[in-house]
Chains A and B, each alone.
Chain A
């Protein structure tokens, strides 16, 4: 019986002109475009410079900034007011003011002050921009200090350097961090959204009523709705592995079977959530909106874009209830760190918990609606 029902579902899916194409195009779109577009690295910051000093030192500083690659000097103003105007006109993002006694102070008093003023309407750009700028300035001051030490030939201050080593993602490449996590988002949409919408569509069209008068058991009917999307979900997962390897040279350090195991539990959990939604929604519109509400909240709290650890305590607490969080962590750990199942056991049980919770809720809410 189940065989015929699944056959029918596949027939309908393959006959839907948009669904199948979308399912195939989506992994490429998400994995190829999103990590590049949603990059938090800030470049091309427009800088306005007020050089009140016009000395060799100030020129050296400006040259150092412009050759860093992060900044574009788009404005040179004579006063702070004028520079501020260029920020208002959106010509500049950051102002650097060099005081008129810059070189003299440096030489005489061995220290001087610079003003960095950033437009923080775009917080990331303003914040990161001023941090980069401050970094360049401090590099500059170290340079000068070393020159003086060499020229005066005496050791005054002990100095040390920090060598940074980034484990698991040595070059801090954004796609390497994002790609494993984006796969989770895809799986959520295919195995969570699609079966829920499919069931609600049958409700909306009235076809489910016709099915309910047949001897087909409700459980069989629902399984026949889920299995095709599970199959598609795993196919897409496999496509994703291929895309990640081909375009980013990414291959999990850990075992692929660990990922498939976690994926199967995760898919069970998320399609359970889909069933819950399909029980409460009577129209596709309602179902869409409910799914978006849950999935959006879960994505933002999952640590997909921003680390969970930097969220406020209450948000960190809520994030425990996002199944996405656990699977995203698992994906990153297996891909980048090569973690094995034994190290991931707590997350494994968490996902099993979600699967039981959502499916129990689905069964209960189904009974109630009847």
Chain B
């Protein structure tokens, strides 16, 4: 039995098509990442799978249960952490956790081993109201609350958005531990660098899946020559590169621009000469290995 199985799910909001005939499967005990920009349809997919929203067409099962027929069973078995913090701000950390435990007919003690690592960090603040927690703490509490009933499948909608880099890293380590407990995890994120943490990923844009594979395979399938460039005038550099006929694509990537080359007979040196003519200084060009983001850019092109 697959943890999640989705068949041609379609959903629109008026004229906007949020999901267009999406199909994929998540294995048990797998961390499956849905990677894509804001507005790609990630949250809609999560809401359908957690029985909060009905799809217009298609079918889906979670832990073997149909999302429409067996929605009651699903609600007992899955944990859902929405993108927006949605615990009770006027209850304390402990009260929130206790409340969600009782709502699922269980107690904190019963499944404490699942949340122990995370909750230990929260314990000093257990009498503090949720409204007074920092962003990262809030996310940790939300994760605890969605785990307290020992779900078989965990849905995390953008758990790292708005969280500091240290907390982000901690969160991903926790997910890996949960995976070892046999919990299947569907996680979405707009950050491409987090893709490598997943066992498999789906790249999503405008309601379409562009590709489903392991992060490694996706990177390996990148078949263009990729160079990273920088100079003293980065903005002009971007324009100059984009106007060059032999350069297929050029995107700004933090402190350098990534370009793909359309022909083989274009050497690093040729480009250096071209940029010197344009008056660029401190030019640095180096061939690099593709990242998930490079693959995403290539696929969306």
Residue B78 is within 8 A (CB to CB) of chain A in the complex:
yes
Expressed in whole angstroms, the minimum distance between the Cβ of A17 and any Cβ of chain B is 10
Residue A213 is within 8 A (CB to CB) of chain B in the complex:
yes
Given contacts A213-B50, A213-B78, contact A8 B99 (CB under 8 A): yes
Contact (Cβ within 8 A) A215 B90: no
Contact (Cβ within 8 A) A207 B87: yes
Contact (Cβ within 8 A) A207 B86: yes
Q: Which chain B residues numbered 45 to 67 have a C-beta less than 8 Å away from chain A?
A: 50-52
Chain B residue contacts of A1, Cβ below 8 A: 102-103, 105
* Cβ contacts B88-99/A at 8 Å (1 or 0 each): 111100010001
Residue A216 is within 8 A (CB to CB) of chain B in the complex:
yes
Residue A312 is within 8 A (CB to CB) of chain B in the complex:
no
Q: Which chain B residues numbered 128 to 155 have a C-beta less than 8 Å away from chain A?
A: 145
Given contacts A205-B86, A206-B86, A209-B82, contact A214 B91 (CB under 8 A): no
Residue B281 is within 8 A (CB to CB) of chain A in the complex:
no
Contact (Cβ within 8 A) A206 B84: yes
Given contacts A8-B99, A210-B82, contact A205 B91 (CB under 8 A): no
Contact (Cβ within 8 A) A4 B102: yes
Chain A residue contacts of B87, Cβ below 8 A: 207, 210
Chain A residue contacts of B102, Cβ below 8 A: 1, 4
Expressed in whole angstroms, the minimum distance between the Cβ of B289 and any Cβ of chain A is 40
* Cβ contacts A91-127/B at 8 Å (1 or 0 each): 0000000000000000000000000000000000000
Q: Which of B86, B91, B100 has the most CB of A within 10 A?
A: B86
Chain A residue contacts of B90, Cβ below 8 A: 12, 15-16
Expressed in whole angstroms, the minimum distance between the Cβ of B98 and any Cβ of chain A is 9
**Cα(A121)–Cα(B51), bound, Å:** 61
Do most interface residues of chain A lie in helix, strand or loop, or is the interface mixed? helix
- Please pick, from A12, A15, A215, the residue contacting B76 in the complex, using a CB distance under 8 A: A215
Q: Which of A5, A207, A210, A213 has the most CB of B within 10 A?
A: A213
Residue B104 is within 8 A (CB to CB) of chain A in the complex:
yes
Residue A212 is within 8 A (CB to CB) of chain B in the complex:
yes
- Please pick, from A5, A206, A207, A214, the residue contacting B104 in the complex, using a CB distance under 8 A: A214
Residue B32 is within 8 A (CB to CB) of chain A in the complex:
no
Expressed in whole angstroms, the minimum distance between the Cβ of B131 and any Cβ of chain A is 11
Residue A171 is within 8 A (CB to CB) of chain B in the complex:
no
- Please pick, from A4, A16, A206, the residue contacting B99 in the complex, using a CB distance under 8 A: A4
Expressed in whole angstroms, the minimum distance between the Cβ of B138 and any Cβ of chain A is 13
Q: Which of B50, B82, B88, B145 has the most CB of A within 10 A?
A: B88
* Cβ contacts A293-331/B at 8 Å (1 or 0 each): 000000000000000000000000000000000000000
**Cα(A4)–Cα(B103), bound, Å:** 8
Contact (Cβ within 8 A) A12 B88: yes
Chain A residue contacts of B145, Cβ below 8 A: 210
**Cα(A156)–Cα(B281), bound, Å:** 126
Residue A63 is within 8 A (CB to CB) of chain B in the complex:
no
Chain A residue contacts of B78, Cβ below 8 A: 213
Residue B72 is within 8 A (CB to CB) of chain A in the complex:
yes
Expressed in whole angstroms, the minimum distance between the Cβ of B145 and any Cβ of chain A is 8
Residue B75 is within 8 A (CB to CB) of chain A in the complex:
yes
Contact (Cβ within 8 A) B50 A215: no
Residue B119 is within 8 A (CB to CB) of chain A in the complex:
no
Contact (Cβ within 8 A) B89 A8: no
**Cα(A210)–Cα(B103), bound, Å:** 11
Residue B10 is within 8 A (CB to CB) of chain A in the complex:
no
Expressed in whole angstroms, the minimum distance between the Cβ of A349 and any Cβ of chain B is 38
Chain B residue contacts of A8, Cβ below 8 A: 88, 91, 95, 99
Q: Which of A1, A5, A214 has the most CB of B within 10 A?
A: A214
Chain B residue contacts of A211, Cβ below 8 A: 103
Chain A residue contacts of B75, Cβ below 8 A: 213-215
Residue A167 is within 8 A (CB to CB) of chain B in the complex:
no
Chain A residue contacts of B50, Cβ below 8 A: 213
Residue B209 is within 8 A (CB to CB) of chain A in the complex:
no
Chain B residue contacts of A216, Cβ below 8 A: 103
Contact (Cβ within 8 A) B103 A212: no
Chain A residue contacts of B76, Cβ below 8 A: 215
Residue B227 is within 8 A (CB to CB) of chain A in the complex:
no
Q: Which chain A residues numbered 1 to 47 have a C-beta less than 8 Å away from chain B?
A: 1, 4-5, 8, 11-12, 15-16
Chain A residue contacts of B80, Cβ below 8 A: 210, 213
Between-chain CB contacts (< 8 Å), 6 pairs:
A4-B102, A8-B88, A207-B87, A213-B52, A214-B104, A215-B103
* Chain A interface residues (CB < 8 Å from chain B): 1, 4-5, 8, 11-12, 15-16, 205-207, 209-216
Q: 8 shortest A-B CB distances, which residue pairs?
A: A206-B86, A213-B80, A210-B86, A4-B102, A206-B84, A214-B103, A207-B86, A215-B76
